[in-house]
Amino acid sequence: MSENLDPFSISQKQLYDACKIIGYESQIYNALSTPERFIEIKITMKMDDGLLKTFRGFRSQYNSARGPMKGGIRWHPEESASLVKALSAWMTWKCACVDIPLGGAKGGIICNPKEMSNNEIEKLARNYIRKLADVLGPNVDVPAPDVYTNPQIMAYMLDEYETIVRKHAPSVITGKPLALGGSAGRSIATAQGGAYCIREAAKDLDLNLNDASVVVQGYGNAGSWVAKILKDTFNCKIIAVSDSRGGIYNENGINPHEAALHKEKTRTVVGLDGTKEITNEELLELDCDVLIPAALENVITRKNVENIRCKIIAELANGPTTPDADQILFQKGTLVIPDFLCNAGGVTVSYFEMVQGYYRYFWTEKEVFEALDRVMTRAYYSTIEQSQKFDTHNRMGAYIIALERVVNTMQLRGWI
């Protein structure tokens, strides 16, 4: 039987497995297995050439028991309703796993911003907010950037929302530019949070990070920053990195800053001097200490999991590993830092950004990262503790913590 790669089915299967381990009845699973609200919108707008184009967009508000819902907006040609629902579920478990008082949501538009002008990008961003303003808000649902969206797009969205409600509301959106109330450290927070987890996982395995070999799939915001942080903080050796156009490899190490500059100039890491070109598939199977999937979903599956040869998988991407692959990695003894723990640094600093926005007083980067370190380190050890207690893999460990917290709040509210 071929493996089911539908993201929402995968998130439901994970939830089902976690409910079973905890011993929840099927009623609890049923109460948690779909979003509270799912909205599909249509945006028709005039493009620069004068022709009309119609886009499909989504917002999935998965669970609001623990606080305002929170989740990024992804713009991608392969965006889908199923993926947005899955990502909104993972946001719910992520916020609960690291214990920040937020629920989970996610949004997206099927589009390719790489083929759009700045003017078209601004129009699309404003249109998305106009369609959804009634169901967003600092105390309702708070978007942020995700794949192919950035602080500038968040700035257009903030301005549109504030124009509609006719007042300042900086905490309606996070990942904003600093000048508009963004938080120090937000742009690198996902990577920084992942690096704290990798530091703790290395301690667990007695792995010296000095000169440890690291492979990064996806050299965007999360991937490029984690490569730079791991090199600059721990002197890790980054032996391979990739993006949607392919990968590059050098067994003696790639300078992650040069790779980022090369990508800035040429829009890809491919072609960096002193590196050999490899495919994304080959990159995942390289012998290394730490493998970091930081691109898209379903890259470690039943098909290639036997060939994965790293000691630690640090999932900065959402949903990179399928449930079948999880089982096999567990049997192989690979230490997986699961996505909604490993990449929770982004939403945690987004939460700090909301807090700073509420009282208009801003923290230094040092304060932000000290607070982030405390949150991530605590969540890492709680996850390990639960997976050991239930003799399961770390993804289930993280689910157990998250689920118990969400279920507890729903019970206190009398929802279940």
- Chain contacts with ligand NAD (rule: CB under 6 A): 146-148, 190, 217-223, 242-244, 280, 294-296, 316-318, 343, 346
CA 34 – CA 27 distance, rounded (Å): 12
Residue with Cβ nearer ligand NAD (171 or 318): 318
Pick the closer one to ligand NAD by CB: 148 or 399.
148
* Smallest separation, CB 147 to ligand NAD (Å): 4
What is the 3-class SS of the chain, one letter each residue? CCCCCCHHHHHHHHHHHHHHHHCCCHHHHHHHCCCCEEEEEEEEEECCCCCEEEEEEEEEEEECCCCCEEEEEEEECCCCHHHHHHHHHHHHHHHHHCCCCCEEEEEEEECCHHHCCHHHHHHHHHHHHHHHHHHCECCCEEEEECCCCCHHHHHHHHHHHHHHHCCCCHHHCCCCCHHHCCCCCHHHHHHHHHHHHHHHHHHHHCCCCCCCEEEEECCCHHHHHHHHHHHHHHCCEEEEEEECCEEEECCCCCCHHHHHHHHHHHCCCCCCCCCEEECHHHHHCCEEEEEEECCCCCCECCCCHHHCEEEEEECCCCCCECHHHHHHHHHHCCEEECHHHHCCHHHHHHHHHHHHHHHCCCCCHHHHHHHHHHHHHHHHHHHHHHHHHCCCCHHHHHHHHHHHHHHHHHHHCCCC
Which residue has tokens 């305002």? 68
Cβ 27 to ligand NAD shortest distance, Å: 31
**Which residue, 235 or 307, has its beta carbon nearer to ligand NAD?**
307
Burial of 201 (0-12, 13-18, 19+ CB in 10 A): buried
Measured distance CA(187)–CA(339) in Å, rounded? 18
Report the nearest approach of ligand NAD to the CB of residue 148 (Å). Answer: 5
Place of tokens 């995942």: 284
CB of 8 to ligand NAD, least distance (A): 15
106 catalytic? Reply is yes
Tell me the C-alpha distance between 281 and 300, whole Å: 10
Nearer to ligand NAD, 321 or 382 (CB): 321
Minimum distance from residue 20 beta carbon to ligand NAD (Å): 27
Nearer to ligand NAD, 35 or 72 (CB): 72
Q: Nearer Cβ to ligand NAD, position 350 or 386?
A: 350
Q: Catalytic: which of 70, 85, 94, 106?
A: 106
Beta carbon nearer to ligand NAD, 93 or 148: 148
Q: Which residues are designated catalytic?
A: 106
